[in-house]
Amino acid sequence: MSAVIDDDAVETLLKCFWEDGYMIMPKVFAAEMITTVRAKIEADDESKTLDFVSIFKEVGSNTFDEFRKMAPLNRKAYKKLKDEATLLIKKFHMRWQPKEWVALKILPGGEEQDPHRDIPAVEIGKARKKFSEIQAGLIIGLTENTKLVLYPKCFAVADPRRRTEVLLGAGFTAC
C-alpha cells in the first residue's frame, strides 16, 4: 500500500473531522502514484476518454460554471488509486464505502464558488437513518497548491468569519 498514515495519527485526525468538519492528511500517497494518475487524467482528457462536463455555478441553480468541470473516473483505469484510497478510508472507519469517483478540473479565471455543502442535509439524514452513519467526501491533491476553502465548525450554514483557505500539496488528502 502506498497510502501511508501513522496509526497513532488516525485518532487525532478523526477528532478534527468530527469537531471541525474536515481533516487534512499530509502526503499520504506516494509521489509516483500521484504523478502516474495525473498523467493518466491529462492523457484521457486530451484523448477525450474522460467526459469533463461543467458543474453548477451555484447550488440549486441551472447555471453552469465554465471554469469548473468534472468527469467520472473509469473503474479500471484508476483502480490502483481507488484501491489505495479505499484502504485509507477504511483506516478511519470500516463501514465507510466509497461510491463515486470523479476528477475535478478547475480552469484559470472565474469567480470563487459560493459556500455550499457537497452532501445536502436530506442525503445526510437518509444515510444516518439507514446506516447510522454520515456521508463524507475525500479529496486527493494531484497538483501542488490545490486550494480548498473551508468553514470549520460550520455544519449547517457557512459563517464568513470562519473562512479558511487550505492548500493541499500533491498527495495530500482532505476529508
For the chain, list the domains and their CATH numbers.
7-174 (2.60.120.620)
Quote the radius of gyration of the chain (alpha carbons, Å).
Answer: 16
> What is the structure's pLDDT at 116?
66
CA distance 24 to 14: 10
pLDDT band at residue 92, thresholds of 50, 70 and 90? confident
pLDDT value for 79: 85
SS3 14: helix
| Segment 111-133, tens digit of pLDDT | 777 776 666 677 777 777 877 76
Single pTM value for the model: 0.79
DSSP 8-state class, residue 74 = P
Write the pLDDT tens digit of every residue in 42-82. Answer: 888 777 778 888 887 666 677 888 888 888 887 677 888 88
